[in-house]
Amino acid sequence: MTAIFLYDTTLRDGTQREGVSLSVDDKLKIAHKLDEFGVHYIEGGWPGSNPKDVEFFRRIQSQGLKQAKMAAFGSTRKKDIRPEDDANLKALLRAETSVVTLVGKSWDLHVTQVLETSLDENLAMISESVAYVKAHGREVVYDAEHFFDGYKANPDYALATLRAAAAEGADVLVLCDTNGGALPWEVEEITRAAATEFDTPLGIHTHEDGGCAVANTLAAVRAGAVHVQGTINGYGERVANANLCTIIPDLQLKMGFSCLPADDLIHLTELSRFVAEVANLAHDDHLPYVGGSAFAHKGGIHVAAVLKNEDSYQHIDPALVGNQRRTVVSELSGQGNVLDKANQFGLDVNNQQTRGVLEQIKQLEAQGFTFEGAEASVELMLRRAHPSYVPPFELIDFMVVVERRRGRGLLAEATVKVRVGPKLMHTAAEGNGPVNALDAALRKALLDVYPQLSGVKLTDYKVRILDSDTGTAANVRVLIDTKQGPRRWSTVGASSNIIEASWRALADSMEYALLNGGR
C-alpha cells in the first residue's frame, strides 16, 4: 500500500478556532497524545508570533517525542530583507525543530495587493528562505498558500512559486486551499497537473469553508499527494480545517492507503475525545467515525436489521476506529431497540416486559420526555419492569419554597420525605435555587444510609421549553448529567411544572447511582 504521511496542525491552525485557547501544558499533552497515536509530523506553532509558542518549543525539546517529527511554522522572509536578517526565520531556527514549515504566496493577487511587492521579489523570498533554512540542516515543508486560487487565476505563476521552493531543496510542496472554496474535481485536476511537473513529493492542506475539506483532501491524494495536513476534529479558523479523524479512516479503510498501523487506528476515537477534553469543547456526537452517534441506530426497522447482521446498516465495523454500536430508544423504536438496550445493560427481560417498557416510553415521549440522551432513565425503566426489583428509596412527598427576604435576598428551601426500607426520612435544606435545594435535601435524607452518594456530582442541568406558545404555562423537559468518578450518566424528567420535571430527573439520577451498590 502507498504510504501517506500525516501532518497534524491542531496546535497551530486548530487554535485559530474561535473559543479555543490552549495553554502550554495543554499543547504538550496533545503533542504527546498525537505522538503516541502515530502521527508523522506535529506542527507546534509559530515561534515568531508569541511567547507561548516559544515556551512550548523549549519544553517539547527537553521532553522529546517517541517517533513524530516536530515542526515549527513561519513565513518566508519579508520583502527586501536578507534571510539572515529576518526575525521570523531566526525564530524558526531557534525553536530547534527538525522540521521547519515555510508558508509563501502562490496567488499573484496576494503578492501585489497584500505583500505589495513584485512577482519576481516574491519568488526570491521563497527560494532564499528555503535555501537559508536548508543550509541549517532542517527538513523543509513548503506550504504554498492560496495555491488553488492562484492556479485558477495565473497557473504559470502558481507553478513558478513551487519551482522556486523545489529548486532550493524543499522536501515537500504542500498545495493549500487556504480560503476553503475549491471543489473536489478542481483540486484533483490541479494537483495532477502539479504532480506531472515535480519529482518533489506533494502535500495537501484544505479548509472547510465550502464543505469540501475532506473530499478535497481525498481528491488530492487520488491525484498523487502523499503528505496530508489537517487537525483533530477539524478544529480550525473560520469554519474548520480538514478533519484528520475522518480523513485517516477514509484513506486507510476505504481507499487502501497506509497511514498508520491498524493497532493504532483503534485509538482514533480516544484521541478525538482527548483533544476535545483538553480544548474544553464538547465532543461533537455527530462526527463521522468517532462521534457518539456515528454508529447509533434509532429506527426500529434499522435496529431489527442490525441485530441480524451489523453490516446491514453500518459502513464499517466501529471497533476498527475504537468506537461502538449504540441503540437509541425513542418513540420511533421497535421492541428490538429495547431488547438490545437491555442486553447492553446486562438485564434479562422477557417479551412482555420489553413491550411494556416500549409502550411506556412512547407514552412518556408524547408527554415531552425524550430518552435518546437519557440512557440511565431507560435502564431504570427496564429494571423497574422486573418483578424482583426493589427501589433503593421511595419518594413520599416534597415541598419547595422560594421567597425574597429583606437583607438576605432570594432564598430557596426544600423539604423532602422519602422512605428507605422501613425508615421514613424527613429533611430540609437550603440552596441557591429550588433545584439545588431539592438536591441538597435529598442527599441529606439519603447520605446516612448511602454514604457513597457523597461522590455523586451533578455536572449539567438543561431545561428545554416544549411548547413556547403557552408562555409561562409551557411544558418543560429537564435533562440532568451526573458523574461519580469515571461513571457518567443522564436522566430526564418532563412536566408543566419545572420543579416536578427537575425532581423526576434528579430522583432518577440518585437511584441510578445506587444501582448494584453504587458500582
From 113-122, 174-183, 439-448, the region with the lowest mean pLDDT? 439-448
Q: Which amino acid is at 514?
A: L
Task: Return the closest-CA partner of residue 40 out of 5, 13, 72, 90.
Answer: 5
Q: How confident is the model at residue 361 (pLDDT cuts 50, 70, 90)?
A: low
Instruction: Determine the Cα angle at 459 with ends 438 and 392, to 5°.
Output: 50
The answer to whether 265 and 248 are in contact (CB under 8 A) is: yes
Evaluate if residue 231 carries a pLDDT over 70.
Answer: yes
The count of other CB atoms within 10 Å of the CB of residue 209 is: 17
User: Distances in Å between the alpha carbon of 101 and those of 155, 170, 229, 357?
Assistant: 23, 10, 12, 59
C-alpha cell at 193: 497537473
Tell me which of 245 and 490 has the higher pLDDT.
Answer: 245
Determine the Cα–Cα distance for residues 196 and 203; give it in Å rounded to an integer. 14
Question: What pLDDT score does 519 carry?
Answer: 39
C-alpha cell at 152: 485558477
From 52-56, 228-232, 277-281, 493-497, the region with the lowest mean pLDDT? 493-497
Out of 238-252, 279-293, 351-365, 486-500, the most confident range is 238-252
Those residues whose C-beta lies under 8 Å from the C-beta of residue 38, and which sit 6 or more positions away, are 6, 67, 260, 261, 264
Q: How confident is the model at residue 238 (pLDDT cuts 50, 70, 90)?
A: very high
Q: How confident is the model at residue 38 (pLDDT cuts 50, 70, 90)?
A: very high
Residue 279 burial by CB count (10 A; 0-12/13-18/19+): exposed, middle or buried? buried
C-alpha cell at 329: 430508544
Question: What pLDDT score does 275 carry?
Answer: 92
Question: What pLDDT score does 216 carry?
Answer: 98
Question: What pLDDT score does 1 carry?
Answer: 67
User: Distances in Å between the alpha carbon of 113 and those of 81, 105, 116, 128, 175?
Assistant: 19, 11, 5, 22, 21
The answer to whether 508 and 376 are in contact (CB under 8 A) is: yes
Evaluate if residue 347 carries a pLDDT over 60.
Answer: no
Determine the Cα–Cα distance for residues 216 and 204; give it in Å rounded to an integer. 9
Determine the Cα–Cα distance for residues 211 and 240; give it in Å rounded to an integer. 9
The alpha carbon torsion through 490, 493, 498, 500 (nearest 10 deg) reads -120
Q: Mean pLDDT over residues 409-431, rounded? A: 88
Q: Which domains does the chain have, with CATH numbers?
A: 5-260 (3.20.20.70), 296-384 (no CATH), 394-517 (3.30.160.270)
Task: Return the closest-CA partner of residue 290 out of 312, 314, 268, 257.
Answer: 268
The DSSP element (H or E) to which 108 belongs, if any, is: helix 108-109
3-class secondary structure, 340: helix
Determine the Cα–Cα distance for residues 362 and 254; give it in Å rounded to an integer. 39
Evaluate if residue 341 carries a pLDDT over 80.
Answer: no
Q: How confident is the model at residue 142 (pLDDT cuts 50, 70, 90)?
A: very high
Cell 501532518 belongs to residue: 7
Those residues whose C-beta lies under 8 Å from the C-beta of residue 309, and which sit 6 or more positions away, are none
Digit-coded pLDDT (tens) for 249-289: 999 999 999 999 888 999 999 999 899 988 988 888 889 99
Q: Give the sign of the dihedral formed by CA 136, CA 138, CA 141, CA 143.
A: negative
Question: What pLDDT score does 331 carry?
Answer: 47
Cell 473559543 belongs to residue: 19
Evaluate if residue 506 carries a pLDDT over 70.
Answer: yes
Determine the Cα–Cα distance for residues 504 and 495; give it in Å rounded to an integer. 9
